[in-house]
Structure 1
Amino acid sequence: MGKAMHKYDARVVWTGNTGAGTASYKGYARTWDIAVPGKPVVACSNDPLLGGDPTKMNPEDLLLSALSACHMLWYLHYAAEAGVVVTRYEDCPEGVGEVDKGGAGRFLSAQLRPVIWLARGADVDVARALHDRIHAVCFIARSVNFPVTYVPQFHLEP
């Protein structure tokens, strides 16, 4: 039996032509829209360190958010299967990157730091152990070439 293949489609449209296209390096904006059929358009820009608009998502934001969301969804799945009732889940992931003198950059690592609220009586040890299974299945974590660590905090509902 073969593996199930998935296809993902998006449309990326540069919105930064200020009138002269790329006639000069500083004469255009580093902005674009991401459009996925049937979903809201996401306005993006490059990293603010490179002159991007800090009010818009950049590729690094999107990658880190995708990594966190994928982990969260698998965590919730495994929690439901294990009978661990999660009532709230928030993450403030942090990515660490480097940029060389020529401008090429990459992520060196990411740390997911979720705060997870559990229903009264939940087994925190079981809840904590669920994390260890996720990196083997998370589509995004399996696709990146940098280490991803996970430092959860748990709270029990009163």
Structure 2
Amino acid sequence: MVKAHDFTSRIVWTGNRGEGTAHYRAYDRTFDIAVPGKVVIHCSNDPALGGDPGRMNPEDLLLSALSSCHMLWYLHLASDAGLVVTSYIDTPVGYGEAERSGAGRFVGAELRPEIGLAAGADPARADAIHGRIHDVCFIARSVNFPVRVAARYVVADG
């Protein structure tokens, strides 16, 4: 039996400068993501499309969601396997393409975690965990582009 999960959010456009969308340059591409009981995230469009480069955009959020879901499952599966992870930092890259019309999409992503392991840990065993994550990560199972993992490991001196 499949258990249903519902997620809610509230997206509020904050870019009306007084004349709404009267013309293309009349409005800002800013918005807030407001989930009840959580910190509001102030966002914008991609800077290439007139967005504020100092704010998160939907593409940043998708890549961050993919990376963080992978990380959380990695930590869970490592713990289950008795593998002690001491640090995890990812610098993922999303690969996109845009058509002349402006329509775009992700065509792939590469997760690049640097994972700290306790002394005596086997990096090959640590690396094998990544292959199981795409089967369980909610976000990875939802995207329609390939996700590659190029992890590096730092094993503490024993």
Asked if TM exceeds 0.5, the reply is yes
Query: Aligned with 1:145: secondary structure?
Result: coil
Paired residues for 1:1-158 under 5 Å: 2-158=1-157
The residue type paired with residue 153 of structure 1 is R
Distance 1:22 1:108 in 2: 31
How far the C-alpha of 1:24 sits from its partner, in A, is 1.0
Query: Aligned with 1:142: secondary structure?
Result: coil
Larger helix proportion, structure 1 or 2?
1
Q: Which runs of 5+ in 1 are unaligned?
A: none
Q: Which runs of 5+ in 2 are unaligned?
A: none
Distance 1:76 1:50 in 2: 36
Distance 1:86 1:144 in 2: 27
Distance 2:123 2:115 in 1: 10
How far the C-alpha of 1:126 sits from its partner, in A, is 1.0
How far the C-alpha of 1:40 sits from its partner, in A, is 0.2
Tell me which stretches of 4 or more aligned residues in structure 1 moved more than 2 Å.
none
Query: Aligned with 2:39: secondary structure?
Result: coil
Distance 2:107 2:131 in 1: 21
What is the aligned-residue identity percentage? 62
The alignment yields a C-alpha RMSD, in angstroms, of 0.6
How far the C-alpha of 1:25 sits from its partner, in A, is 1.1
How far the C-alpha of 1:32 sits from its partner, in A, is 0.2
